[in-house]
Amino acid sequence: MPKPDEINFKVEGGHPLSGTVVTSRSKNGAVALLAASLLNKGTTTLKRVPKIEEVHRLIEVLRSIGVSVEWNDRDVIIIPPETISLETIDREAAVRTRSILMFIGPLLHHFPSFDIPQSGGCDFGRRSVRPHLWALERFGVAIDTQTDKFQISHDGLAPAEVVLYESSDTATINSLFAAAGIEGTSVIKYASANYQVQEVCGYLQALGIDIKGLGTTTLTVTGNTDIRTDISYAVAEDPTDAMFFIALAATTNSSLTIRNVPIEFLEVELAVLEKMGLTFNVSDSGVSENGITKLADVSIEPSTLTAFPERIHPRPYPGLNIDNLPFFAVIATQAEGDTLIHDWVYEKRAIYYTELDRLGAETLLLDPHRIQISGPKKLRGADIIAPPALRPATILLIAMLAARGKSMLRNVYIVNRGYEDLATRLQAIGAKVEQV
């Protein structure tokens, strides 16, 4: 068996794809809920958890600090210990995921002083944690950022009114975690209303925490210092997983149906694609088990694409999702005209999009945040090492499936951080790809 860092995708592209794909459960929702389980002194059963590397790393961290975590098919059963021990934390697992940041909020209610390792994950350049620090300061928390760790301390927590410096998903979640374990009412303003935040709100409400404003940018939280409930809660569907297959269909000019799409988190993306000429049909398919996430089936037909006439750029929900922006780079390789993508959030993610050139795309990097992509271009196979960022790596895989000839995407641990059993799912719709 190859090590996780030595796994590759071997691709023979240019083959027509067709069929139906069921949207996987949410990576970002699952990791946030794993962190949230630390608030609960009862047993948490998380249902339909994706078996991805990001989840495995957080489970390793939980086990290392004394939490009992067991898989039961697709469910994860989490039983807290009497006392958490941070002295035994698995630092190697912790530094491999930025999601470790979300442990800060729950651990505030276990320790007056503690430290956690500096986070890792995707390499996009410098990613500020100041929104977390400034938000948690309002509750009485001091955070000292050191070279390899965060040192956190407080002399007692108090409810607060928090104004977020930026509408960060994880900073909102950490603020929710802090507020949930404090007696009294806190208000979080300019909160993210993104899907993983709504997931966390649903879980906290199921634990008995009163949260008003779910799905809005102002959350009012009435906390409880003794959260102790045996609970079963299902992870909802992943909009970025659905977007992968939407982008795949658009780029390969294929007929695909993506089932159980969390449609409210993809409406802007689909509106942009409609203006680009993509033909698709949306039909309602109910609500996810959490009772919050609306689902739909999206059926895509082969389409002639043209460049979007405006720059494509992300915004906090309900805007175009920052995680979905890279997919427009690979779609643009098959659209007539010049597409301008403005990836303003991250310092160097747009630079990774230039790797598409190695497959025959035509890109022009205007600066570290803006890239122009000209199309349509006939893509060709290539041997490429996956960049150290999840979405840029996945768009290379999509391009390889659209390209004629053989390709190799090497060191795909970063892809497996967010996508489960991707090669098998692609094979089921006619793709010639294998994990080697």
pLDDT at 409 over 70: yes
DSSP 49-61: ----HHHHHHHHH
pLDDT at 42 over 90: yes
pLDDT digits 0-9 by tens, 136-160: 999 999 999 888 899 999 999 999 9
pLDDT at 386 over 70: yes
pLDDT at 372 over 80: yes
Mean predicted lDDT score pLDDT of the chain? 95
Average pLDDT of the segment spanning 56-74: 97
pLDDT at 188 over 60: yes
Average pLDDT of the segment spanning 29-40: 98
Quote the tokens at residue 432. 């010639």
pLDDT digits 0-9 by tens, 83-127: 999 999 999 999 988 899 999 999 999 999 999 998 765 655 455
DSSP 310-348: S-B---STTS--TTTHHHHHHHHTTEEEEEEEE--SSSS
Q: What angle do CA 380, 385, 389 make, to 5 degrees?
A: 110
Task: State the pLDDT at residue 127.
Answer: 52
d(CA 269, CA 245): 13
pLDDT tier for residue 19 given thresholds of 50, 70 and 90: very high
- CA-CA-CA-CA torsion for 215, 221, 225, 230, nearest 10 degrees? -30
Residue with tokens 């203006």: 275
pLDDT tier for residue 275 given thresholds of 50, 70 and 90: very high
Task: State the pLDDT at residue 318.
Answer: 94
d(CA 71, CA 78): 9
Burial class of residue 213, CB neighbours in 10 A (0-12, 13-18, 19+)? middle
pLDDT at 184 over 60: yes
Average pLDDT of the segment spanning 40-56: 97
Average pLDDT of the segment spanning 234-245: 98
Q: Which residues contact 378 (CB under 8 A, 6 or more apart)?
A: 360, 404
d(CA 411, CA 413): 6
d(CA 115, CA 143): 9
Average pLDDT of the segment spanning 165-182: 95
Yes or no: say if 397 and 391 are a contact pair by the CB < 8 Å rule: no
Q: Which residues contact 287 (CB under 8 A, 6 or more apart)?
A: 293, 294, 295
Size of the chain, expressed as the number of residues it contains: 436
Task: State the pLDDT at residue 58.
Answer: 97
Q: Which CATH superfamily is domain 27-234 in?
A: Enolpyruvate transferase domain (3.65.10.10)
Task: State the pLDDT at residue 403.
Answer: 98
pLDDT at 175 over 80: yes
pLDDT at 412 over 80: yes
Task: State the pLDDT at residue 98.
Answer: 83
Task: State the pLDDT at residue 314.
Answer: 96
CATH architecture, domain 4-24+237-435:
Alpha-beta prism (3.65)
pLDDT digits 0-9 by tens, 335-349: 999 999 999 988 889
Burial class of residue 88, CB neighbours in 10 A (0-12, 13-18, 19+)? exposed
Task: State the pLDDT at residue 133.
Answer: 86
Burial class of residue 350, CB neighbours in 10 A (0-12, 13-18, 19+)? buried
The answer to whether the 4-24+237-435 and 27-234 domains have the same CATH topology is yes
pLDDT tier for residue 129 given thresholds of 50, 70 and 90: confident
Task: State the pLDDT at residue 2.
Answer: 63
Percent of the chain past pLDDT 90, that is, above it, reads 91
- Domain chopping of the chain, boundaries: 4-24+237-435, 27-234
